Amino acid sequence: MKYLLMIYMNPAVFESLSEAEQNAVMAEHDAFQKPIRESGELVGFAALADPSTSRTVRVREGVPAVTDGPYVEAKEFLAGYYVVDCETPERAEELAAQLPDARLTAIEVRAVMESGGLEM
């Protein structure tokens, strides 16, 4: 089963860290990736640019309108994600707990929908 580990960021929390601490967070991400890359659990990951760079697109009555900024305005925003392929949901939670951001903010773990299903 694939899980999306969503890294939520609060800039106020991150900025309260010293530069050394911020670098340590980045180093932890590198360290996090190595074993799950080797085990084949890592499917993909991305760091997202700041939401100030977001553009939100709406189409109303066939007319697209583009506005600056994110769809949801909140203190916390999605800063990046990992997609992992784990044997159990518990394992996905275990991986989420290893992320440095789990100590600073929180990681949301959500299962990825599959295209198949049983005949019910």
Partner 1 sequence: MTADARAEDLLRSLAPQVLGALVRRYGHFDACEDAVQEALLAAARQWPQEGLPESPRGWLITVASRRLADHWRSEEARRHREEAVAALEPPPGETPDRDDTLTLLFLCCHPALSAPSQLALTLRAVGGLTTAEIAHAFLVPESTMAQRISRAKQRIRAAGARFDLPHETERAERLRVVLQVLYLIFNEGYTASAGPDLQRTDLTAEAIRLTRELHRLMPEDGETTGLLALMLLTDARRPARTRTDGSLVPLAEQDRAAWDRAAIKEGTDLVAATLPHAVPGPYQLQAAIAAVHDEAERAEDTDWLQILGLYGLLERFAPGPMVTLNRAVALAMVDGPLAGLALLAELDDTLRGHHRLDAVRAHLLEQAGDPEAARTAYRAAARRTTSLPERRYLESRAARLGRPSGE
* Cβ nearer to partner 1, comparing 29 with 54: 29
8 Å CB contact between 46 and 80: yes
Phi, psi of 9 (to 5 degrees): -120, 140
Report how far residue 47's alpha carbon sits from residue 37's, in angstroms, rounded to the nearest whole number: 17
Residue 30 is a binding residue for partner 1 (CB under 8 A): no
Binding-site size for partner 1 (CB under 8 A) equals: 22
> Is 38 strand, coil or helix?
helix
Which range touches partner 1 (CB under 8 A), out of 36-44, 52-60, 66-74, 100-108?
A: 36-44
Residue 111 is a binding residue for partner 1 (CB under 8 A): yes
Residues making contact with partner 1 (CB under 8 A): 1-2, 37-44, 85, 87, 111-120
